[in-house]
Amino acid sequence: MTILVIAEHDNTTIKSGTFNTIGAAQKIGGDIHVLVAGQGCGAAAEAAAKIAGVSKVLLADAAHLAHQLAENITPVVVELARGYSHVLAPATTFGKNFLPRVAALLDVAQISDIVAVESADTFVRPIYAGNVLATVKSADAIKVITVRTTAFEAAAAGGSAAVEAVAAGADTGTASFIGQELTKSDRPELAAAKIVVSGGRALGSAEQFKAVIEPLADKLSAAVGASRAAVDAGYAPNDYQVGQTGKIVAPQLYVAVGISGAIQHLAGMKDSKVIVAINKDEEAPIFQVADYGLVGDLFSVVPELMSELSK
Amino acid sequence: MKALVAVKRVVDYNVKVRVKADGSDVDIGNVKMSMNPFDEIAVEEAVRLKEAGKVSEIVVVSLGVKQCEETLRTAMAMGADRGILVETEAPLQPLAVAKLLKAVVDKEQPQLVILGKQAIDDDANQTGQMLAALLGWPQGTFASKVVVADSKVDVTREIDGGLETVALKLPAIVTTDLRLNEPRYVKLPNIMAAKKKPLDKTTPADLGVDPAPRLTVLKVAEPAKRSAGVKVASVQELVAKLKNEAKVL
């Protein structure tokens, strides 16, 4: 049994979700190979080779793989996949984008967003916004799987795998990359942060979101998240959204500020180790999952919290 | 240019589903059903493209039980021109849906297919990408902006770190994210008018597709409940508990 993990990377470094995906592969058991597909991504391949438990790194390096477009990365993975029992990718926007294409061309089901491995062919995955956990068994010869990264331990450093070049295929020519606008921030990555401070609709404006949530996040070296209501209202960028259809987070500490706690939001954060809720409505559903609830006006509580943390 | 939109009938997003006592499945016997919210956004986008003169006809497709007709009528009340129901009582998984949709696309020859990025029941997020692969078409998933030109579509996609824009040669697949648009409220006269729009029916057998599931659900269960903790009276108490009790600061 050999597992192929598709690395998410920026051609230089390996993104954190890849380490958790390798962690999931270790739970399945067997040899683990990692594919690094990109352009000028030799450094990323070298980094992948140093992850514990990886026995081989496959490197597909070509101009048409620079932006890892689904149309171009899919044929590379499909070509390799036939030699593997499992193909895994993180359930990030990277993995979700191309892996179903791979599954369809292999004529196998994809098992999305697994949170536990029961055996080599049986996995647990959340459905209905995480309100139900389904245990599913695959009858396909190749198991194609995306991994909920917060549900698995990250693989450690300490490997020394060989890097082997593989065929990079051709440019399909049907899609081209125009550009990216990435949110610039020195804060930790939301999906992997140890502490997350999230703001909701009660912030009232983009200015107040920035003035109240961001300093608290910086004080705690935390990532910033938001509820759907806050994003819809334009208080925070789209990629801050935590929830069923946004990011799934499971930090050591999640601080929900002015968030009522719709089930779709809870789906994205209820596996956090410790949850703090600050809300002036003592009936808000967020208090039903919070370890520590503080009923009060966020505009006075948060500044007070800032000064208490400075003591 | 013809656009095709796929819509799924799902448990309404306000309903909290329960697991059956024997753990075999979720109990959706008597709950409210609605169009998948992401599919509503897909229909709205197609209607806006038609209103802008970019699309000439909108065909809406649903797959599943007879009651999916209601979902198709809703889409037609929003502005779709005609509906196709692929009727089956069999449970459908994303790969089967993608194969059935491919068969419909082969017949209808649309230039653009718009789908929701995921259904809020199985949360799979697969069908659009699978359909694109089976057709050999490019895809713009998780779209927050769609600009159609003569022979291409530019799609701005929501990715983990921000936004990415790709240019796709038509024909192409687009899957919708939350912020693409805000679906319109359907007005009563439009609901009445939608009842007269054409609705064709077909079956998986007619389309030559075997929809047998590849994954077997062994059991379903509710996750361990997180119990409510304590209310603290002050910021001082909160910080003290986070430091000394939870030890996360």
CATH of residue A82's domain is 3.40.50.620
Per-residue b or e along B147-185, where b marks 16 or more CB atoms closer than 10 Å to that residue's CB? ebeeebbbbbbbbbbbbbbbbbbbbbbbbbbbbbbebee
* B99 belongs to a structural domain: yes
Q: What is the pLDDT of residues A161-212, one digit of tens each?
A: 999 999 999 999 999 999 999 988 889 999 889 999 999 999 999 999 999 9
For residue B187, what is the domain's CATH number? 3.40.50.620
Q: Would you tell me the crossing angle of helices A70-81 and A93-106 to the nearest 10 degrees?
A: 50
Q: Which pLDDT score is estimated for A185? A: 85
Selected residue of B235, B236, B243, B245 to mutate for chain A interface (largest A Cβ count, 10 A) = B235
* B208 belongs to a structural domain: yes
Residues A125-152: what's their mean pLDDT? 96
Q: Which pLDDT score is estimated for B227? A: 85
Tell whether ipTM is more than 0.85: yes
Contact state of B139 with A138 under an 8 Å Cβ cutoff: no
Q: Which of A165, A181, A209 is the last residue of a domain?
A: A165
Task: Say yes or no: A170 contacts chain B, CB-CB below 8 A.
Answer: no
Contact state of B11 with A263 under an 8 Å Cβ cutoff: no
Domain tally, chain A: 2
Same domain, A111 and A56: yes
Q: Quickly state the pLDDT bin for B150 (edges 50, 70, 90).
A: confident
Contact state of A293 with B232 under an 8 Å Cβ cutoff: yes
CB A202 within 8 A of CB A279: yes
Q: How many whole angstroms separate alpha carbon A125 and alpha carbon A148? A: 9
Mean predicted lDDT score pLDDT of chain A: 97
For residue A251, what is the domain's CATH number? 3.40.50.1220
Q: Which residues form the domain of B213?
A: 2-244
Query: Parallel, antiparallel, or unpaired for β B112-116 and B2-7?
Result: parallel
* A85 belongs to a structural domain: yes
CB A277 within 8 A of CB A287: yes
Q: What is the pLDDT of residues B202-227, one digit of tens each?
A: 999 999 999 999 999 999 999 988 88
Task: Say yes or no: B248 contacts chain A, CB-CB below 8 A.
Answer: yes
The single-letter code of the amino acid at A205 is S
Selected residue of B160, B177, B178 to mutate for chain A interface (largest A Cβ count, 10 A) = B160
B121, B133, B236 ranked by CB distance to A128: nearest: B121
Q: How distant is the Cα of B136 from the closest Cα of chain A, in angstroms?
A: 9
Q: How distant is the Cα of A162 from the closest Cα of chain B, in angstroms?
A: 30
With residue A70 as reference, give the H or E element that holds it.
helix A70-81
- 3-state percent helix, strand, coil for chain A, nearest multiple of 5: 35, 30, 35
Domain tally, chain B: 1
Q: What is the pLDDT of residues B168-180, one digit of tens each?
A: 999 999 999 999 9
Same domain, A160 and A234: no
pLDDT of B161 > 90? The answer is: no
CB A191 within 8 A of CB A149: yes
Q: Which pLDDT score is estimated for B136? A: 98
Residues B225-231: what's their mean pLDDT? 89
Task: Say yes or no: A160 contacts chain B, CB-CB below 8 A.
Answer: no
Residues A230-237: what's their mean pLDDT? 96
* A81 belongs to a structural domain: yes
Q: Which pLDDT score is estimated for A67? A: 96
User: Three-class SS of residue B94?
Assistant: helix
Q: How many whole angstroms separate alpha carbon B39 and alpha carbon A176? A: 26
- Residues in chain A within 8 Å Cβ distance of B138: 71, 172, 174-175
Q: How many whole angstroms separate alpha carbon A205 and alpha carbon A63? A: 43
* B249 belongs to a structural domain: no
B129, B226, B239 ranked by CB distance to A270: nearest: B226
Same domain, A157 and A11: yes
Residues A26-50: what's their mean pLDDT? 97
Same domain, A56 and A117: yes
Q: How many whole angstroms separate alpha carbon A51 and alpha carbon B38? A: 38
Q: Which residues form the domain of A200?
A: 190-310
Q: How many whole angstroms separate alpha carbon A57 and alpha carbon A74? A: 18
CB A220 within 8 A of CB A274: no
Q: What is the pLDDT of residues A254-279, one digit of tens each?
A: 999 999 999 999 999 999 999 999 99
pLDDT of A311 > 90? The answer is: no
- Residues in chain A within 8 Å Cβ distance of B141: 70, 96-97
pTM over 0.80: yes
Same domain, A138 and A279: no
Same domain, A135 and A10: yes
